[in-house]
């Protein structure tokens, strides 16, 4: 089947998915939002999987205590208010009354304590680090949660978005093996939308949670996430109105400019402030030749990141200079820079004794292609061509979403590409990739490359607990200098993803977490 036939077949198949009822113009209540989820997530429970498709869809099902504005300041989520003690050790949250899970059971402070201190510390790579700082968590009454920290942790209020600390029902998970609980397929949260059906390979259908605690929300009747693997089919679905919203890499970067000029569509790059997506080439530091920092430095010289931005991402990115994004607090531009230089790369490879063989090849490395769209395949080809100039043969290996997560999480890879969220503060989104205490086999988005440096550990820890901003900057500047010298991963780009949607839909982007939001306030005009 050629691409044209595949596109026609995909759209014909999607026509069979229920479209729901769209209300008359001027009535904010009701209507259906059709959008895309790609690739298809392996699970919808965000506590157990932190891959982007799971979080985008799961944000409508699961909530946390707070939300964050574009300025990254906390806003009410399920907590209507919060207080911090003068010594920075006690955080008290007051929940909204009347919050219920999708099965009708009340959500109380007991569910919050159970989720944060029991479930997430076992299943969630960044929550584990955050809540390990908690000395005790208490539920003195059904609407009050009190966290007492072991020592001050400056960004603690930044730990409670729906992707970092989703609240799950204690009455379903207590005493069970969390990841194998049969109720995982039901995906029971407190969000404005609940799961009606998931037809694998076709769509995920969410409908209004009538017991939602926010007055009059949600306004929409339903959201239908369509699973459309082919990028041409996704673009055509947006163009002809089959879907009314795309986010992240739903449409390829080369199509973005075309849709920006379409009169019925709105375009924005807002809604990614909290995440500040940071991309890199991940190298398993346990495996030769990646276990030699000279090889990793050579890789930095081999990647023409300006060309990569132009040719692969069509200018929708900014060149990354190190582990902290320029969009995140405590970024330091005064770090070592790696210019594009095949000559410098070859000098480093020769220095470490990695000489070309009779066939001109210095090494063969397996590159696991992330299954997040065609742009990742093109990026893999770009890396392969770049490495070949120095006699390194990059062998591209494909897999599905679950397979990629399993291999990377269990360190069964040599090289891959990864993209992580910065989460507004290096203590939340950056440190987890480099501290040795977060080398946890089986946990994706932890320190999967196996990098370890006691000085880096110390600097990250001191910066996390320091309350003086100038002191934190000093510590983070030092750690950036070390990491850029040792190159545990090869940073490539700070990506600027679009959100493109039908102008008839309002309130699509309302906070700094964009399309991961609940969409409770979204309505069709």
CA distances from 143 to 94, 109, 213, 368, 485 (A): 6, 6, 13, 46, 48
pLDDT at 125: 84
Instruction: Output the six-digit token pair for 200.
Output: 């694998």
CATH code, 219: 3.40.190.10
Q: Are 409 and 448 in contact (CB under 8 A)?
A: yes
- 219, 116: one domain: no
> CA-based angle 352:357:358, to the nearest 5?
160
- 15, 107: one domain: no
Work out the percent of the chain whose per-residue pLDDT is above 70.
95
If you write DSSP's letter for every residue of 197-250 in order, what string do you get? EEETTTEEEEEE-TT-SSTT---SSEEEEE----HHHHHHHHHTTS-SEE-TTS
Mean pLDDT for 7-30 is: 50
Choose one of 130, 145, 173: the last residue of a domain.
Answer: 173
How confident is the model over 347-356, as pLDDT tens digits?
999 999 999 9
Q: Are strands 363-368 and 392-397 parallel, antiparallel or unpaired?
A: parallel
If you write DSSP's letter for every residue of 156-180 in order, what string do you get? GGGS-STTTS----HHHHTTS-GGG
Residue 359 lies in a domain: yes
Question: Is 22 a residue whose pLDDT tops 90?
Answer: no
- 357, 382: one domain: yes
Q: Are 423 and 329 in contact (CB under 8 A)?
A: no
Residue 247 lies in a domain: yes
Torsion of CA 265, 63, 55, 424, to 10 degrees: 90
Residue 178 lies in a domain: no
Residue 182 lies in a domain: no
Residue 181 lies in a domain: no
Instruction: Output the six-digit token pair for 489.
Output: 């991963």
Q: Please tell me whether the peptide bond between 218 and the residue prior to it is cis, using omega within 30 degrees of 0.
A: yes
pLDDT at 24: 40
Question: Is 2 a residue whose pLDDT tops 80?
Answer: no
CATH code, 446: 3.10.105.10
Burial class (CB in 10 A: 0-12, 13-18, 19+), 326: middle
Q: Are 415 and 366 in contact (CB under 8 A)?
A: yes
pTM: 0.87
Residue 29 lies in a domain: yes
| Of 156, 108, 102, the residue nearest 132 (C-alpha) | 156
Mean pLDDT for 271-282 is: 96
Q: Which residues pair with 205 in a beta bridge?
A: 197, 224
- 282, 237: one domain: no
- 491, 450: one domain: yes
Its domain, for residue 440, covers 278-495
pLDDT at 25: 45
- pLDDT bracket for residue 234 (50, 70, 90): very high
3-state SS, one letter per residue, for 336-386: CCCCCCHHHHHHHHHHCCCCCCCCCCCEEEEEECCCCCHHHHHHHHHHHHH
- 53, 70: one domain: no
Average pLDDT across the chain, whole number: 94
Mention every residue, 6+ apart, whose C-beta is less than 8 A from residue 126.
50, 164, 423, 428, 429, 432, 445
CATH code, 138: 3.90.76.10
- 349, 426: one domain: yes
Mean pLDDT for 214-224 is: 96
Residue 179 lies in a domain: no
- 462, 422: one domain: yes
How confident is the model over 450-482, as pLDDT tens digits?
999 999 999 999 999 998 999 999 999 999 999
Burial class (CB in 10 A: 0-12, 13-18, 19+), 152: middle
Choose one of 173, 204, 230: the last residue of a domain.
Answer: 173
- 439, 426: one domain: yes
Q: For the chain, how many residues are written?
A: 525
Mean pLDDT for 113-142 is: 95
Euclidean distance between CA atoms 463 and 313, whole angstroms = 34
Instruction: Output the six-digit token pair for 445.
Output: 């988005």
- pLDDT bracket for residue 27 (50, 70, 90): low
Question: Is 446 a residue whose pLDDT tops 90?
Answer: yes
Number of folded domains in the chain?
3
Residue 452 lies in a domain: yes
Mean pLDDT for 85-103 is: 97
- 390, 455: one domain: yes
Euclidean distance between CA atoms 58 and 67, whole angstroms = 15
pLDDT at 373: 84
- 324, 439: one domain: yes
Euclidean distance between CA atoms 271 and 515, whole angstroms = 7
Q: How many C-beta neighbours within 10 Å does residue 330 have?
A: 19
Residue reference for tokens 């459309």: 228
Q: How far apart are the first and last CA of the chain?
A: 40
Helices 231-239/3-14 angle, 10° precision: 50
> CA-based angle 347:350:354, to the nearest 5?
140
Ramachandran class of 452: left when φ > 0, alpha when ψ lies in -120 to 50, beta otherwise: beta
- 424, 372: one domain: yes
Q: Which residues pair with 318 in a beta bridge?
A: 494
């Amino acid at each position: 089947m050629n691409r044209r036939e595949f596109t026609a077949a995909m759209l014909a198949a999607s026509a069979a998915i229920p479209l729901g009822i769209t209300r008359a113009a001027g009535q904010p209540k009701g209507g259906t939002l059709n959008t895309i989820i790609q690739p298809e997530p392996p699970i919808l429970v965000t506590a157990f999987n932190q891959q982007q498709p799971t979080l985008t869809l799961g944000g409508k099902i699961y909530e946390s205590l707070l939300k964050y504005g574009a300025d990254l300041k906390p806003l009410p989520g399920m907590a209507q208010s919060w207080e911090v003690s003068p010594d920075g050790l006690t955080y008290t949250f007051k929940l909204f009354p009347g919050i219920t899970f999708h099965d009708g059971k009340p959500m109380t402070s007991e569910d919050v304590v159970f989720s944060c201190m029991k479930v997430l510390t076992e299943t969630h790579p960044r929550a584990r680090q955050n809540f390990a700082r908690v000395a005790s968590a208490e539920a003195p009454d059904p609407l009050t949660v009190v966290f007492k920290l072991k020592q001050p942790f400056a960004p603690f209020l930044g730990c409670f978005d729906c992707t970092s600390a989703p609240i799950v029902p204690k009455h379903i998970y207590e005493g069970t093996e969390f990841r194998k609980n049969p109720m995982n397929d039901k995906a029971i949260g407190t969000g404005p939308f609940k799961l009606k059906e998931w037809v694998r390979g076709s769509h995920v259908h969410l409908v209004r949670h009538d017991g939602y605690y926010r007055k009059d929300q949600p306004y929409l009747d339903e959201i239908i996430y369509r699973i459309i693997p082919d990028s041409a089919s996704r673009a055509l679905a947006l163009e002809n109105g089959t879907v009314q919203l795309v986010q992240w890499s739903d449409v390829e970067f080369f199509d973005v400019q075309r849709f920006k000029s379409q009169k019925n569509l709105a375009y924005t790059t807002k809604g990614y402030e909290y995440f500040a997506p940071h991309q890199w080439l991940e190298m398993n530091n346990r495996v030769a030749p990646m276990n030699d920092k000279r090889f990793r430095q050579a890789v930095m010289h081999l990647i023409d990141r300006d060309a990569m931005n132009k040719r692969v991402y069509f200018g929708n990115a900014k060149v990354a200079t190190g582990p902290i994004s320029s969009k995140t607090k405590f970024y330091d531009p005064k770090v070592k820079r790696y210019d594009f230089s095949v000559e410098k790369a070859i000098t480093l490879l020769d220095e470490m004794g990695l000489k070309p063989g009779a066939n001109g090849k210095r090494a063969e490395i397996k590159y696991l292609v992330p299954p997040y769209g065609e742009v990742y395949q093109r990026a893999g080809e770009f890396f392969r061509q770049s490495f070949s100039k120095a006699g390194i043969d990059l062998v591209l290996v494909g897999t599905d979403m679950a397979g990629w997560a399993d291999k990377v999480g269990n360190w069964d890879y040599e090289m891959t590409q990864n993209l992580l969220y910065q989460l507004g503060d290096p203590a939340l989104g950056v440190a987890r990739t480099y501290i040795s205490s977060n080398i946890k086999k089986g946990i994706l988005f932890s320190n999967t490359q196996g990098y370890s440096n006691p000085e880096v550990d110390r600097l990250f820890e001191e910066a996390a607990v320091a309350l003086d901003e100038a002191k934190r900057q000093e510590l983070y500047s030092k750690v950036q200098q070390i990491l850029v010298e040792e190159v545990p991963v090869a940073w490539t780009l700070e990506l600027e993803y679009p959100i493109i949607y039908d102008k008839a839909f309002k309130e699509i982007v309302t906070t700094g977490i964009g399309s991961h939001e609940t969409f409770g306030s979204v309505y069709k005009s």
